[in-house]
Chains A and B, each alone.
Chain A
Amino acid sequence: MQPIKILTSTAAPLPLPNIDTDQIIPKQFLKRIERTGYQDFLFYDWRRIQEGPDAGKPDPAFVLNKPEYTGSQILIAERNFGCGSSREHAAWAIAQYGFRAVIAPSFADIFFSNAGKNGIILAALSEAEVQTLIARSTANPQHRISIDLEAQTVRDDQGFLAHFPIDPFRKHCLLNGLDDIGLTLLHEDKLNAYESQRQSAFWLDPKPLNAASPTSTLPPGV
């Protein structure tokens, strides 16, 4: 994961609430077994005209198809961004497209976690603050926003200043680009100790030893 400290960029506004991960990346792209190459599938249906003679062609009205937002590294949306399916492909598509941050009033739980694993900053600001930024980036696509992860601030050159919360551990990982599994394995002695003292708790085992004989008949009622 690439460390990130300060991000300054133009921002693409997507002023809708409840943008779900089915929209961020439709299901047909979940069949791939690779972890990369998802950038072209980001908002796949929204980027295309759905009906009429031009169906399938790029929709010039969609923000990511507007040349003036090319290269934006910040996405701004309304509340509950990333709801629905747990597909990490949504975070992969956002990151691989080139976004390093999403600003919104709130984020769905699983997406929040997935974004963190992929070096994406999620800055939750108030509804009013988000609307201000949406208005400025809509009026002027060249409007630049600066996110300072260390200071937990979002600023622009018109005097906008807002603070966003972030869990200190998550911040530490983003700032340093740390791998979670490696960090957990630093506590392996604790894990070994936990597993030894838990050995007798067979009722928490998926397959208790004395249950290993497969029954050929199903219990009534399924």
Chain B
Amino acid sequence: MSTSTPRTMFEKVWQQHVVTEPAGEPTILYIDLQLVHEVTSPQAFEGLRLSGRPLRHPERHVATVDHNVPTTSIADRLVITDQIANAQVSALRKNCADFGVELFDVQDTDQGIVHMIGPELGLTKPGMTIVCGDSHTSTHGAFGALAFGIGTSEVEHVMATQTLPQSRAKSFLIQVEGGPNGALPAGVTAKDIILDIIGRIGTDGATGYVIEYAGSAIRALSMEGRMTICNMSIEAGARAGMIAPDETTFAYLKDRRYAPKGAAWDEAVAHWRSLATDPGATYDRELHIDATTLAPSVTWGTSPGMVTSIDASVPTLDQARSESDQKSFTRAYEYMGLQPGTPMQQIKVDAVFVGSCTNGRIEDLRIAARVVNGYHVATTVRAMVVPGSQAVKRQAEAEGLDRIFKSAGFEWREPGCSMCLAMNPDILSPGERCASTSNRNFEGRQGRGGRTHLLSPAMAAAAAITGHFTDVRTWRFKA
């Protein structure tokens, strides 16, 4: 391979991980890290036992419990009353002990949503290949890793071989330009950017591609914001989303538990710097977005692509792009209990959820707390904050954010996936409408009959206070 051919970041990471390219078969790609959780791993461990295969590299596997653990109290987590959920958590404990995999259990000070703890512990690093039996593995691409979700058969494949047969995806550059120094308009966040992108290209708009996000608006984002963007790449159908590592990335990683230290750190940074896309490299597809024109986004329907801005209305049927979309719109109006043409700000909410691997990080909690500070949750609303990890919870409590939320009437919970997918007891009742900082508004996602609207943490916080969707750009901050 000539080094003079300009390459994209994705090509560089891909090529470094090619084990072999057997004729007539997919490439066998080396996987540096597999993250494991209780829901998609039991059948994979069982597969290893049945075939008598060892787990090839336990040190390249890290596990935690997140999807179905209760978030109400520490006591509820230590004794999970849902017997089926408890059996699944117990199975993970036994499997990790049997196969030598490090496990961050419920009582561990580093437990958290799998996509939170990888970066927090410094396990996630630029240039790595990372997989997990969870579609939001794309989150780790914020560090310049190639990270993607896989099914349980593939989880077993990685356990047995530390590789995956893969065909190479196409490359898709999404260039997001902000104002001076990449600034976003007031009230517009990373969540609004990614919702806008999904609205433009559709939930299958990036199928078959790895997206690279670039441009001044992306460069100006914190790691938290970059993770929010990469997290939802899967909602546009992408195999993965990536952002080139830079000083922001290195500052985040330095001194984390599993980051290299001393001279090794400098050597690692030198390698990571070489990952950025070479000048002159070409992509299979490009999209350019002017972020200075964006407004806060809210979804109105049952797919993340059914999104509009807070100052707009529920779209009418004639705004659907195809006959097939019209059918989806009609079904979504009925499921969501909404009339086309209703201004978004007139829609009342019953529940507010701040959390998830999309928006459960410290920056998300800070901005939500800033909106909430000095106000009280509307009497018709139940609102909860579920920090994404123990580390985020500790940090938020050190900053006093928990007190702001609690005195405003929010519940302050233990870390986990919680109401993002409602596998644990945090669930909507039929017909309940939720302003949620999570990633999917599918039918029944947060509970059968539940109605989910996706939005940013600031917008969710504002809706909790007023009881309806509210334009955070006009918010009167009290502190």
Contacts and interface: CB of A to CB of B under 8 A. Distances in A.
Say whether A associates with B. yes
A8 interface: no
A91 B43 CA distance: 14
A169 B128 CA distance: 26
Given A16-B328, A180-B165, A203 B268 contact: yes
A114 B153 contact: yes
A80 B203 contact: yes
B414 interface: no
Contact of B260 (A16, A180, A202): A202
B152 to A, nearest CB: 4
Contacts of A198: 30
Nearest to B39: A30
Choose among A78, A86, A218, A222 the residue with the greatest number of B CB atoms under 10 Å from its CB. Answer: A222
Contact of B135 (A15, A28, A85): A85
Interface stretch (B1-9, B279-287, B348-356, B436-444): B436-444
Contacts of B260: 202-203, 208, 210-211
B415 interface: no
B127 to A, nearest CB: 6
A53 to B, nearest CB: 15
A16 B62 CA distance: 38
A172 B123 CA distance: 37
B82 to A, nearest CB: 7
Contacts of A184: 28, 157, 160-161, 163, 165
Nearest to A222: B395
Interface in A7-63: 15-18, 20, 22-23, 26-28, 30-35, 45, 50-51
A84 interface: yes
Contact of B262 (A84, A206, A210): A210
Contacts of B16: 204
Contact of B443 (A22, A31, A79): A22
A137 interface: no
Contacts of B262: 210
Contact of A117 (B127, B151, B257, B395): B151
A127 B264 CA distance: 54
Given A23-B443, A108-B207, A207-B123, A114 B391 contact: no
A215 B257 contact: yes
Interface string B204-238: 10011000000000000000000000000010011
Nearest to B51: A181
Interface string A93-120: 0000000000000101110011001100
B58 to A, nearest CB: 11
A106 B237 CA distance: 11
Given A109-B208, A202-B268, A218-B391, A190 B237 contact: no
A117 B444 CA distance: 27
A79 B204 contact: yes
A206 B395 contact: no
A206 B57 CA distance: 11
A58 B40 CA distance: 29
A108 B271 CA distance: 34
Nearest to B157: A181
Interface in B287-321: 303, 305
B134 interface: yes
Nearest to B449: A50
B324 A110 contact: no
A27 B331 contact: no
Contacts of A203: 125, 127, 260, 264, 267-268, 271-272
Contact of B157 (A32, A118, A180, A222): A180
A83 interface: yes
Given A31-B39, A207-B59, A181 B156 contact: yes
Interface of A: 15-18, 20, 22-23, 26-28, 30-35, 45, 50-51, 78-80, 83-89, 91, 106, 108-110, 113-114, 117-118, 127, 167-169, 172, 180-181, 183-185, 187, 190-191, 194-195, 198, 201-208, 210-211, 214-215, 218-219, 221-222
Interface of B: 16, 19-20, 22, 24-26, 28, 30, 32-33, 39-40, 42-43, 46-47, 51, 53, 59-60, 62, 67-68, 82, 84-85, 87-88, 91, 120, 122-123, 125, 127-128, 133-135, 148-154, 156-157, 160-163, 165, 167, 203-204, 207-208, 234, 237-239, 252, 254-262, 264, 267-268, 271-272, 303, 305, 324-325, 327-328, 331, 361-362, 391-392, 394-395, 421-423, 430, 440, 442-445, 448-449
Closest 3 CB pairs of A and B: A88-B151, A33-B42, A203-B268
